[in-house]
Amino acid sequence: MTIPNIYIVEYWLPFPSSEYGGVQIVVAECDVHCERILAAAVDDYHKQKYPSYREQIANAIKKAKRYPVDAECGIVHEFLT
């Protein structure tokens, strides 16, 4: 079993839809798992308005800080505007 990472991910939603951006804190096993968790949290409205949302999330994850952690996987905290 791999030790998951805690990811500090800048919110992928661009201005002006997210005026001040935000951050999502996610515990995941790997980048792909982190992307799946964040994509599952996207509502239908944003999926239609931003059809490239998966790519935008993946790019945000590439820039994310990550640290090993002993915790369960999922979104731990988020601050969004």
Report the C-alpha gap between 30 and 27 in whole angstroms: 9
In this predicted model, what pLDDT tens digit does every residue of 14-67 receive, in sequence order? 777 667 778 999 999 999 999 999 999 999 998 999 999 999 999 999 999 999
pLDDT of residue 22: 87
Query: Beta strands 65-68 and 22-28: pairing type?
Result: unpaired
pTM to 2 decimals?
Answer: 0.85
pLDDT of residue 35: 97
Alpha helices (runs of H) in 1-81, residue ranges in sequence order: 31-40, 44-49, 53-63
Selection from 5, 12, 6 nearest residue 25 by Cα: 6
pLDDT of residue 56: 94
H/E stretch holding 65: strand 65-68
